[in-house]
Every structure is written in C-alpha cells, then in structure tokens.
Amino acid sequence: MTTALIASTFLLAAAAWGWHRSAVARRAALEALRERAESVAACSAEVERLRAGLSGASDGLIVVDERGLVAASNPAARDIANLPDQDHRGARIEDLVAWPKLHAALRRCRDDHTPQKFELEIDEGEPHARRLSVRCQPLPGRGAVVGIDDQSRIRRLESLRRDFVANVSHELKTPLTAIQGFVETVLDDPEMSTPTRTRFLERIAQQTQRLTTLVSDLLTLSRLDDDKAIMSPEPVDMVTVIQDAVRDLMPIAEREDLEMVVELPDQQLLVRAEQEALRQVAGNLIDNALKYTPERGVVTLRLTNTGGEALRLEVVDTGIGLSKEDQERVFERFYRVDRARSRQLGGTGLGLSIVKNTVLNLGGEMGVKSEVGVGSLFWIQLPLAQPPAEPTPDAAR
Ligand SMILES: Nc1ncnc2c1ncn2[C@@H]1O[C@H](COP(=O)(O)OP(=O)(O)OP(=O)(O)O)[C@@H](O)[C@H]1O
Ligand SMILES: [Mg+2]
C-alpha cells in the first residue's frame, strides 16, 4: 500500500514536473514568438515608411542588391531613367539603364565599398536633354542605393525666373522712360501753352496708369502662387459675375462696333472663390475677345453647367485668331503675339496668366481653340460649390 502510494506520488510529481517544464517552455516559446511578431511589425512599418519615402522623393532612387539586380525603385527613377512601366525587380541594372558610367560606379562602389558620384548629360543637344547628378551609396552586404538628381528642372526654373525678372524690368522701364521724357519737356519749356502742357500731363497720367496696372497684376500673380489663396468660404454666383463684367465692358463693345451675344443659364452657378478673382478671369477673357476682334465682329459668351459637377464658360470671337504655336504659349507670363499692338492697347501680357493661375488655384481647367483670321474660343471649367447637405430629420429636430 505504502509502496503503491510512494509510486503514485512519484508519478504525480514527475507529471507535475513535466507539465511545469513544458509550461515554462511554452511560455518561453510564446514570448519568443511575441518578440518576433513585434520585430516583424516594426520592420514592416519601417519598410512602409521607406516605401512611402521612396515613392514621394523627387530624386530618383534605385536599390541594387549584391548581384547587381534591382531590388526596388521609385517613380522618379522610373521617369528620369526612362524605365519600362512593368515591375523590373530582379532585372540586371545593366539591362535596364544604358549608362556605362553608372555600371562602372556601381562596380567601384561594390568592390571598394566607397560612395561614388558623377555627372551625366543624356540626350545632349535634344530639346528634352537632361543633366543628372548621380550618387551611388554602398549598403551593408555589397548592395547599393543609386540616387539620381535631375538638375535640368532646377536650371529650367532658374532660367524662367531670370526671364521673368528681365521682363518685369523691361515693362517697368518703358513707361518710366516715357514719364521722365514728358516731365523733362514740360520743365524745359516754362512758356509752354496750356493745351500742350495738358496733353503732356495726360500722357503722364496714362503711363502712370500703366505702371499701376502692371504692379497690381504682378501682386495678383504672386498671391495666386500661394495655393488656395483665393478660395472663399462664401460661394459666389458666376451668372452675376458675368452679368457685371458684360455691363462694365459693353461701352467698349459699342465703341468698337462689336456685337456681344450673352447666353446664360436660368439658375445660379455657385463657385467657392473670391468674387474679385472671378471678375478678373471673366473680365480678362472678354476684354481680350473685344481687343483682338476687328470692327463689326461678334463676341459670344456662353455659360453652362456641365452636369452638376462644374461650370463651363466659353468666350468665342470672330477676331484675328492664333496660330498653333501661339495657342501653346498665350498662357505664359508676358507672352504677347504682337508686343507693339498689345502695348498700344494698354496690355501687359499678364491677363491670361492670371486667368490660368486663378483657374488652377480653384482646381479647374482651361484651354483655347483658334484659327488665324477666323477667330478664337477660350474656355474655362470650374468646380461648382457643393450645395449644403439637406438636414436629416434627426438634425432638424
Ligand atoms: N481672343 C484673342 N484673339 C487673338 N489673340 C489673343 C486673344 N486673347 C489673347 N490673345 C493673344 O495672347 C496674348 C496674351 O494675352 P493676355 O491677355 O495675357 O495679355 P494682353 O491682353 O496682351 O494684356 P493684358 O491682358 O495684360 O492687358 C495677347 O497679347 C494676344 O496676342
Ligand atoms: Mg488680356
């Protein structure tokens, strides 16, 4: 009996010890699993962060493994190096990018484990030529990251800025020189008759007005560069804006013997934008149509709802028209087909660039169709303000 008791106690103790040992082992295994899961989660978060960084980066980035096979690339690299659209992970870098300088740099980077840097001119002499600055950074395990910086974009921007400053200076200098000339003439001749003096003073007033317009156009443009600057919390009715612009410009149409045809919808078309910005857009387009249409021509304004989402304004004229090349450039700052004629008509060449920047700032689109000697159609589309949501029965209570 005692022996049986001792034996069963021993068995029980052994089972308990075994159970205890396996519980400890299970806990340890669970703990290890939890740690592994945490590190996998941390890794995937890191990978996600890197992936987001890679795809958002403006520099091109290509990761190459120790065998020289592409492990990852971002959209900018695919764009700059003109890589095919399909997934090219696992492809040899030599087969994808035909830049011998890059292949040599990657070899050096792998063999010496040192960063490499070089400049590259691609498609030299072509209009789409690019100047690239390329860096290869070694990775642990003999892989490498290739960073490609497209410097042509910055150079293009710098050249645009230089042109802009030159244009502004020129446009300011012309009226200033004229004003200086008129003032000196009046000062040099104390005996000048009153009618002649008045004529000179009128010219001075005209040129001063030109300077004021130019400076206010430049201020408008710089404000438009600031994203969403002209969004307004209160929606504005575009039908009223067009009616006001027509009323203001009708005297010019009558003076030039031009017919104005206005087609407006019966209902309001609301846009979430500053009234003054919309007035300027409509005013610029109508003003151009009137300026560049000879006597007895017709200017038609058509405002429609494109199906609930956007409004479309078309300004059609039977004027001098624009060639294909000019149609591509009219929205550029200071671009004028006939500089002398535009200046004589009091233009600064900023009207359409203000239209373009305003429309883009409001999330819209614009364009032009034209034929020389036949006429032009300028159009814009702007997103309509969403009507306030109908109150639900609960909210109404
Ligand atoms: N309806 C049109 N028909 C023919 N040419 C046009 C028309 N609208 C614009 N253009 C051409 O595009 C150029 C640029 O137009 P934009 O409105 O930017 O400047 P502008 O009218 O010369 O001056 P601003 O608008 O600053 O008073 C004009 O100089 C003209 O050559
Ligand atoms: Mg204009």
Tokens representing residue 259 in the block: 């017919």
The residue from 102, 135, 153 where one domain ends is 153
Same domain, 271 and 381: yes
CA distances from 169 to 85, 196, 197, 211 (A): 45, 30, 29, 11
Q: Would residue 16 count as lying in a domain?
A: no
Q: Taking residues 24-47, what's their average pLDDT?
A: 66
Q: Is residue 358 part of a domain?
A: yes
Q: Are 142 and 110 in contact (CB under 8 A)?
A: yes
For residue 215, pLDDT over 90 is answered with yes
In this predicted structure, what is the pLDDT of residue 25?
73
Same domain, 39 and 129: no
Q: Is residue 339 part of a domain?
A: yes
Q: Is residue 350 part of a domain?
A: yes
Q: Quote the crossing angle between the two packed helices 351-361 and 275-291, to the nearest 10°.
A: 140
Quick: pLDDT tens for 336-389: 998 777 777 777 899 999 999 999 999 999 999 999 999 999 999 999 997 655
Indicate if ligand 1 lies below 6 Å from the C-beta of 336. yes
Pairing mode, strands 270-273 and 365-371: unpaired
**Residue 77 amino acid letter:** A
Per-residue pLDDT for 395 more than 50? Answer: no
Same-domain pairing of 34 and 102: no
In this predicted structure, what is the pLDDT of residue 380? 98
Tokens of 40: 């996998």
- Please name which of 313, 229, 243, 308 lies closest in space to residue 273, comparing C-alpha atoms: 229
Residue 179 placed within a domain: no
The finding on whether 335 has its CB within 6 A of some atom of ligand 1 is yes
Å from CA of 133 to ligand 1 middle: 40
The encoded tokens of residue 67 equal 């065998």
For 102, what's the count of Cα atoms within 13 Å in the CB-facing half-sphere? 26
CATH number for the domain including 360? 3.30.565.10
Cβ–ligand 1 contact at 289 (below 6 Å): yes
> What are the residues facing 301 on neighbouring strands?
262, 315
Nearest residue to 77 via CA among 91, 95, 58: 58
Same domain? 248 vs 342: yes
Task: Please give the pLDDT value at position 324.
Answer: 96
Q: What is the mean pLDDT of residues 109-136?
A: 87
Name which of 70-84, 95-109, 271-285 the model is least confident about. Answer: 70-84
Can you tell me the mean pLDDT for 310-333? 96
372 and 244 together in one domain: yes
Domain closes at, from 12, 37, 55: 55
- Distance in angstroms (rounded) separating the CA atoms of residues 300 and 286: 9
Q: Is 145 in the pocket of ligand 1 (CB under 6 A)?
A: no
Q: Which residues lie near ion ligand 2 (Cβ < 5 Å)?
A: 288, 351
Q: Which residues span the domain enclosing 283?
A: 228-387
pLDDT at 20: 60
What is this structure's pTM?
Answer: 0.67
Query: Cα–Cα distance between 116 and 134 in angstroms, integer?
Result: 8
Check if the beta carbon of residue 238 is closer than 8 Å to that of residue 311.
yes
Separation of alpha carbons 365 and 369, rounded Å: 14
Q: Are residues 336 and 368 in the same domain?
A: yes
Tell which residue, 389, 369, 365, 390, has the closest CA to residue 378: 369
Across 73-82, 168-177, 262-271, 330-339, which has the greatest mean pLDDT? Answer: 262-271
Average pLDDT of the residues in 39-65 = 66
Checking if the pLDDT of 147 tops 80, the result is yes
Domain closes at, from 126, 153, 180: 153
Say how many domains are in the chain: 3
In this prediction, residues 178-197 reach a mean pLDDT of 95
Ligand at minimal distance from the CA of 379 is 1
Q: What is d(CA 106, CA 374) in angstroms, rounded to the nearest whole number?
A: 59
Scanning the structure block, which residue is given the tokens 């340890």? 28
Mean pLDDT across the stretch 54-73? 82
Report the SS3 class of residue 97.
coil
Q: Does residue 101 share a domain with residue 42?
A: no
Residue 36 phi, psi (nearest 5): -65, -45
Same domain flag for 37 and 65: no
| Ligand 1 proximity of 348 Cβ (cutoff 6 Å) | yes
**Is there a domain that residue 75 lies in?**
yes
Instruction: Please report which confidence band the pLDDT of residue 18 belongs to, taking 50, 70 and 90 as the band edges.
Output: low
Pocket test for ligand 1, best of 342, 348, 353, 380 (most atoms within 8 A of CB): 342
CB 376 within 8 A of CB 316: yes
Helix, strand, coil percentages, rounded to 5, for the chain: 55, 20, 25
Residue 1: pLDDT band by 50, 70, 90 thresholds? Answer: very low
> Cα–chain-centroid distance for residue 24?
62
Q: Quick check: 61 pLDDT over 80?
A: yes
User: What is the average pLDDT score of the chain?
Assistant: 86
Q: Comparing C-alpha atoms, which of 286, 292, 288, 274 is closest to residue 243?
A: 286
Ligand 1: atom nearest CA of 320 is: 4
In a domain, 125, yes or no: yes
User: pLDDT tens digits, residue range 217-254?
Assistant: 999 988 888 777 788 888 999 999 999 999 999 999 99
Regarding whether 285 and 147 lie in a shared domain, the answer is no
Say which amino acid occupies 310: A
Residue 167 domain-assigned (yes or no): no
C-beta 210 within 6 A of ligand 1:
no
Residues 277 and 377 in one domain: yes
Residues 46 and 78 reside in one and the same domain: no
- What CATH number is given to the structural domain containing 105? 3.30.450.20
Q: State what percent of residues in the chain have pLDDT above 90.
A: 56
> Within this chain, do residues 303 and 321 fall inside the same structural domain, yes or no?
yes
Among 351, 331, 355, 354, smallest CA distance to 342 is for 351
Q: Which atom of ligand 1 is nearest to the CA of 319?
A: 3
